Structures are given as structure tokens and as C-alpha cells.
Amino acid sequence: MRIAVIVTTYNRPDALAAVVEGYLAQTDRDFELLIADDGSTVQTAEAVAAYRARAPFPISHVWQEDRGFRAAAIRNRALAACNADYVIFSDGDCIPLPGFVARHRRLAEPGWFVSGNRVLLSESFTRRVLAERLPVHRWRGGKWLGARLRKEINRWLPLLALPIPARFRKLGAGRWQGAKTCNLAAWRADLLAVNGLDESYAGWGLEDSDLVVRLIRAGVRHKSARFAAPVLHLWHAENDRGRLPENRRKLEEVLRSGRILAQVGVGQYL
């Protein structure tokens, strides 16, 4: 099974560096990494080129012009550009632990998409991680428990790897709430069948919920990656949410409709 990891980024090369270091430390290196760049300056391109030269797996840089927050569009471009059977979506401020790709590979199952969760790092801890280049992707339980006691992370339990039976991972098979593209995996064929993400969502918010609603409507079920494949979410200032009410209206319209295909989707890039 060929896997592609699609990581979005925008003008934050220090955070992206921490994320790529996490992928370089993966126990499963049989994947391609696509940096889905929503219009960053040349500094990000230079960073990607440097990592490409030392990575044991292919790294691609998929870039689009900076015309505001267009995460759906750059994910679609990367989805169209990748050569994989299975796609893991994440973000350029979400650091994977060493077993992230391997565990997503084990959880992959025809007819299902997989959503994982995240652990939030505090503002001060994020600054320290980036300034000191702390290899937090390699930290183990004791260090993370200490970080929780110091309130450097919002929770500790999701970092535990637990042998949860498959039937319990499928209890929310029809649930769209809570799935986010900072940690979401699906078969590429299923993503193409619903025309990828809907680029008609403008600005931040809910384009990932829209995708999940349409996947479920198309017959693809929701499987949980909790206690298996979390990511470490670096702190950032809150995105502009000025378009959120309109995006919420669009999502409510999708929920009322029977629509499966994105109105403006990945098909334009294929």
C-alpha cells in the first residue's frame, strides 16, 4: 500500500522544520511527503529543498499563490499530485510521533477513513520547542507527564498507545463531528470519488467537516485512531474566523442535502 502524507503550511518554516524532523524519525519510511504550501515565501521553498536532499523518502513541494486562507485548494492540489493508494492529511504545525505513519498503515481498512486527535502545546512551550529545537517527537511517557504537570500541554492520556479492539474503534462509524484534517487518513480513491475538499468554503473553518460528511454519505465509515496516532499541535494565534458564519451556513446546507460531490473540488486538477 503506497502512502502519501500531505502537510499544509503557510509562512512558518520553523514549525515546519519541527514537523519534518518528526517524519524523518518515522519507524515506517515507506511513504511520500507532500508539503502543501498555501502561498509561503521563498524561505519555505528553501527549507523544503534542504529536507528533500537528506530525506530517505520522496518530498514534494506543492505551492499556490497567496490569495488568503485556501487550505481546501492546496490540499486538493497535493491530492491530485500524489501517487498513492492511501492519504494522510496533517498540518505544518502538527508534529508526528515516530510510530504515526506505521499506526495509520495498520488502521487502514477498505471502506473506512480514520481520524486521529491532537495534543495542544502551550504558547510558551511551543516557543521553547522551536527556539531550542527540542526533539519532542522522541519524548516518552515520563517527560510528557512532567509537561502536563507544568501545564505545557493540555492533556497527557492521548499520548498513550493502547491496544484498543477494532470493534471499539468503529463505534462512531457514522459520526462526522470531531474529525479534522490535522490528523485524517483516507483511501485516495474514496477522496476522488467525492471530488476531494470543497474549495467554495472561503477562509478558515469547516471545510474538513464538509469532506467527512460527504465521505460518510458516500458509504465510507469513520474509524478512530485515538490512543494510536496522535499529533503534537504547536501553538499559534487564532486564525481569522470572519467567514465562519458563512461556512457554517454552507455546512448546514450540505447536511440538509444529499450531496456527495464537492462543488469546487479536486477534479479540476486531475
Residue 241: per-residue pLDDT? 65
The pLDDT of residue 120 is 97
d(CA 183, CA 100): 10
Whether 73 and 199 have beta carbons less than 8 Å apart is answered as yes
Q: What is the pLDDT of residue 202?
A: 78
Residue-level length of the chain = 270
Burial of 201 from C-beta contacts in 10 A (0-12 / 13-18 / 19+): buried
Strand order in the sheet with 31-37: 59-63, 31-37, 3-9, 86-91, 183-187, 112-115, 221-224
Q: Which residues of 92-117 are buried (b: 16+ CB within 10 A; e: fewer)?
A: bbbbbbbbbbbbbbebbeeebbbbbb
Mean pLDDT of all residues in 33-43: 97
CA–CA dist 249, 107 (Å, integer): 33
| CB 263, CB 202: distance < 8 Å | no
User: In the predicted model, is pLDDT for residue 49 greater than 80?
Assistant: yes
Query: What element of type H or E holds 90?
Result: strand 86-91
Render pLDDT for 3-19 as a digit per residue (tens, 0 to 9).
Answer: 999 999 999 999 999 99
Place of cell 498513492: 84
Tens digit of each residue's pLDDT (9 = 90 or more) over 120-146: 999 999 999 999 999 999 999 889 999
Q: Per residue in 50-106, pLDDT tens?
A: 999 999 999 999 999 999 889 999 999 999 999 999 999 999 999 999 999 999 999
Mean pLDDT, residues 23-48: 97
pTM for the whole thing? Answer: 0.96
pLDDT greater at residue 246 or residue 211: 211
| Three-class DSSP category at 165 | coil
The mean per-residue pLDDT over the stretch 186-202 comes to: 96
DSSP 34: E
pLDDT tens readout for residues 156-189: 999 999 999 999 999 999 999 999 999 999 999 9
User: Bigger pLDDT: 205 or 16?
Assistant: 16
C-alpha cell at 248: 457554517
Q: What is the pLDDT of residue 240?
A: 61
Q: What pLDDT band is residue 244 in, cutting at 50, 70 and 90? A: confident
Q: Residue 267's closest CA among 211, 199, 195?
A: 195
CATH topology of domain 3-269: Spore Coat Polysaccharide Biosynthesis Protein SpsA; Chain A (3.90.550)
Mean pLDDT value across the chain: 95
In the block, cell 515507506 appears at: 30
Q: CB–CB of 120/154 below 8 Å?
A: yes
